[in-house]
Chains A and B, each alone.
Chain A
Amino acid sequence: DAGVIQSPRHEVTEMGQEVTLRCKPISGHNSLFWYRQTMMRGLELLIYFNNNVPIDDSGMPEDRFSAKMPNASFSTLKIQPSEPRDSAVYFCASSLSGTGSTGELFFGEGSRLTVL
């Protein structure tokens, strides 16, 4: 089975540009998470979707960040406008949540974003 698929793997952009990161979760999973990883702050949860509905977006740093999940097989994380401090690796993860599920996360390979 295919795992979580993220694109692009690498993105280099200039400050002020719009960045869109994409994620395809594992088929059948009903929960999707976006994380950001930096040396200084480690792994930070940005937003959590359950059954395509955003449940917790308290980790989204600013209004410049937005995320959508239009269907069960696709999600986007958008940064507009981007700033150098947004440079990080962004991970998408999915899981199967519900009664009896242990809810472990399956991570994608990540999207490394560099904002110049």
Chain B
Amino acid sequence: AQSVTQLGSHVSVSEGALVLLRCNYSSSVPPYLFWYVQYPNQGLQLLLKYTSAATLVKGINGFEAEFKKSETSFHLTKPSAHMSDAAEYFCAVRGRGDYKLSFGAGTTVTVRA
């Protein structure tokens, strides 16, 4: 079964600083990987996805993630944090041929002025 582990349940960054959210996956073959963002009192919104076309994936709001097979990682980054980036972020994995997305526990990002 596929699974993901998000390292760190809370991350606090200063406005303008790098945002780095860590996600490691468990899968015997390269799966589909996703990052979602959830703002307060809203549903989850897709930030970006990895489907094997390119290892560096660019998403919305200036976020990007790099798929590293050797490290089984799919970390999410943004060079410069904005106050509007304060939210909860979920990494998710789906095995090829599977229907189910397995979500990580989530990482809450706070941005300090």
Residues of chain A touching chain B, judged by Cβ–Cβ distance below 8 Å, are 4, 31, 42-43, 45, 48, 50, 55-56, 91, 93, 97, 102-110, 112
Contact = CB atoms under 8 A, between A and B. Distances in A.
Interface SS majority for chain A: strand
Interface string B34-67: 1010000111111001010000000000000000
A104 B103 contact: no
A56 B51 contact: no
Interface stretch (B15-23, B70-78, B94-102): B94-102
Contact of B100 (A42, A56, A106, A108): A56
27 contacts: A4-B43, A31-B99, A42-B105, A42-B106, A43-B90, A43-B103, A43-B106, A45-B100, A48-B100, A91-B44, A102-B32, A102-B49, A102-B94, A103-B32, A103-B99, A103-B101, A104-B32, A104-B34, A104-B49, A105-B44, A105-B46, A106-B46, A107-B43, A107-B44, A110-B41, A110-B43, A112-B41
Contacts of A56: 99-100
Given A109-B43, A110-B42, 11 more contacts: A31-B99, A42-B106, A43-B106, A48-B100, A102-B51, A102-B94, A103-B99, A103-B101, A104-B49, A105-B101, A106-B46
A107 B45 contact: yes
A63 to B, nearest CB: 22
Interface centre among A42, A105, A108 (most CB of B within 10 A): A105
Contacts of B90: 43
Interface in B85-113: 90, 94, 99-101, 103, 105-106
Interface centre among B34, B44, B51, B103 (most CB of A within 10 A): B44
